[in-house]
Amino acid sequence: MTLKGHCLCGDTRWEAEGPMLWACHCHCADCRRQCAAPVVTFLGVRSSGFRWTGATPGAYASSPGVTRHFCSRCGTPVAFQAERYAGEIHLYAAGLESPEAFTPRFHVHHAEKLPWIALDDALPRYEGFAPADAPEIGEAS
């Protein structure tokens, strides 16, 4: 499978070959603040199958061991990397070329969910990080 995405202005583009490892909604305060959104939706892919195909993004070390990538021209957040997830890069689902074909599988940091967000899905909710053995984590096509 090949996934493609880009920022708002189209300068920063990416491609990921191989399976999506997981797909989730994140409610943590850092992700919300970085995207100025009440919830942020990610997908994880292997770093080995990932490449930037447009302008190299800017990078911001938002906390120890965490780098957030963004378009240097328009400012769109495009990716997240953390030492905690060695060998993975996390991409913002809204930046996919076909986000309508994407389906999240679970929620993380649900304990930080804003109280005025009403969720009516039946997806699993994890109060913090999802455990590595969560059934929703693993290669999906």
Q: Where are the domains of the chain?
A: 2-112
Give φ, ψ of 95 to 5 degrees: -85, -5
Q: What is the mean pLDDT of each run of 10 residues along the chain (141 residues)?
A: 96 96 96 95 96 97 96 97 95 95 94 96 95 83 48
pTM of the model: 0.92
- State residue 140's pLDDT score: 62
CA 132 centroid distance within chain: 17
Q: Give exposure, 14-53, as e/b (b: 16+ Cβ within 10 Å).
A: bbbeebbbbbbbbbbebbbebbeeebbbbbbbbeeebeee
- State residue 26's pLDDT score: 97
In the chain, the N- to C-terminal Cα span, in Å, equals 7
The CATH number of 2-112 is 2.170.150.70
